[in-house]
């Protein structure tokens, strides 16, 4: 990447021929008007707490959100908390049952997400799932 291109691309850094996107705070994601309605984000731990609140905020802001959690019934209840003014709720919020302690399903869930994501691209990840390993 040339010097002039590096200055224009403020959220990326060059690594040979690839771009590495630097994670931006969620507040910047929500406030970027040009990103709305064309970006997909994954939220783990989406069935409760900070994960759930993040899902609701991102969907309200126009993002397509893939909510991952162990409790599918809690994920689907998020639909009732979304404003009725949101069109295509089933496309804007996609609940997926996934347990981060079971990595054998990782490839399957990622393939499912990419097949449904806008432009087959994931824009961001909010990692909110809790995991405790008892020693």
Say yes or no to pLDDT of 14 above 50.
no
State what percent of residues in the chain have pLDDT above 90. 39
The CATH classification number of 23-127 equals: 3.40.50.720
Q: Across residues 45-64, what is the average pLDDT?
A: 92
Please, what is the average pLDDT of the chain? Answer: 77
pTM greater than the 0.85 cutoff? no
Cβ atoms of residues 122 and 41 within 8 Å: yes
Structure-model confidence comparison of residues 17 and 41, the more confident one: 41
Distances (CA, A) of 122 to 12, 48, 66, 105: 15, 22, 10, 18
Name the DSSP class of 107: H
Residue 33: pLDDT over 90: no
């Amino acid at each position: 990447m040339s010097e002039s291109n590096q200055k224009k691309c403020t959220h990326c850094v060059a690594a040979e021929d690839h771009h590495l996107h630097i994670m931006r705070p969620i507040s910047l994601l929500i406030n970027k008007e040009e990103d709305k309605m064309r970006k997909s984000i994954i939220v783990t731990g989406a069935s409760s707490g900070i994960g759930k609140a993040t899902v609701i905020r991102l969907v309200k802001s126009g993002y397509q959100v893939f909510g991952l959690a162990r409790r599918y019934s809690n994920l689907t209840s998020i639909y009732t908390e979304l404003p009725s003014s949101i069109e295509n709720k089933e496309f804007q919020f996609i609940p997926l049952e996934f347990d981060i302690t079971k990595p054998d399903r990782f490839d399957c869930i990622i393939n499912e997400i990419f097949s449904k994501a806008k432009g087959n691209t994931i824009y961001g990840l909010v990692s909110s799932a809790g995991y405790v390993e008892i020693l």
